[in-house]
């Protein structure tokens, strides 16, 4: 059995690159997770997982992470990515991700509504929501990335 992560943070960043992959890599670096190996997970925050905005993940780590991203090679496109964590104290939480060709504000609204709906579906009381988002105007090839890294 794998251990449950004990800490998390929310992060979002954007970048340009010469390719979609290097734009994505640049966004990861700016978001503070670029020197790790991402293990994409779905949308549940473990019980008693503590928010730690100053958490540093060791380079090379296998990092459980819920994330959304978008890349575009259309100059002038506005792209955004957002994550939201819904929290109920003394319980598990729910993580939602969103990315699209829209404003940061719209991405935040959509991902927050997704968390609210997830809590409604589970019959849980939503006590707090943490959001991270980014907006990027594409110059050549751009990436917007938002994530919730989970750590031990």
pTM above 0.75, yes or no: yes
**What is the rounded CA–CA span in Å between residue 14 and residue 105?**
15
By C-alpha distance, which of 84, 69, 77, 134 is closest to 101? 77
Tell me the per-residue pLDDT of 42-51, one tens digit each, with 9 for 90 and over: 999 999 999 9
7, burial (CB in 10 Å: exposed 0-12, middle 13-18, buried 19+): middle
What is the percent of the chain where pLDDT is above 90?
A: 98
Judge whether 31 and 81 are in contact, CB under 8 Å: no
Both tokens of 16, joined, read 């340009």
Tell me the per-residue pLDDT of 4-20, one tens digit each, with 9 for 90 and over: 999 999 999 999 999 99
CA atoms within 13 A on the CB side of 151: 21
- Output the pLDDT for position 143: 99
**What is the rounded CA–CA span in Å between residue 121 and residue 95?**
14
Judge whether 130 and 51 are in contact, CB under 8 Å: yes
**What is the rounded CA–CA span in Å between residue 84 and residue 22?**
25
- Output the pLDDT for position 1: 80
Tell me the per-residue pLDDT of 45-69, one tens digit each, with 9 for 90 and over: 999 999 999 999 999 999 999 999 9
Give me the CATH code for the 7-51+61-151 domain, please.
Answer: 3.50.20.10
Angle at 129 between CA 41 and CA 82, to 5 degrees: 55
Q: What is the mean pLDDT of the chain?
A: 97
Query: What is the arithmetic mean of pLDDT over 92-115?
Result: 98
Q: Which residues are catalytic?
A: 37, 42-43, 97
């Amino acid at each position: 059995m794998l251990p449950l992560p004990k800490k998390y943070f929310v992060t979002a960043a954007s970048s340009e690159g010469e390719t979609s992959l290097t734009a994505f890599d640049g966004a990861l670096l700016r978001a503070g997770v670029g020197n790790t190996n991402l293990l994409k997970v779905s949308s549940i925050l473990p019980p008693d997982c503590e928010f730690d905005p100053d958490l540093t993940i060791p380079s090379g780590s296998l990092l459980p992470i819920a994330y959304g991203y978008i890349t575009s090679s259309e100059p002038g496109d506005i792209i955004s990515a957002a994550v939201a964590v819904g929290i109920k104290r003394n319980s598990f939480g729910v993580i939602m991700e969103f990315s699209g060709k829209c404003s940061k504000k719209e991405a935040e609204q959509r991902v927050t509504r997704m968390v609210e709906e997830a809590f409604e579906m589970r019959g849980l009381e939503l006590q707090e929501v943490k959001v991270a988002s980014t907006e990027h105007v594409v110059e050549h090839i751009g990436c917007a990335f938002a994530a919730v890294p989970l750590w031990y």
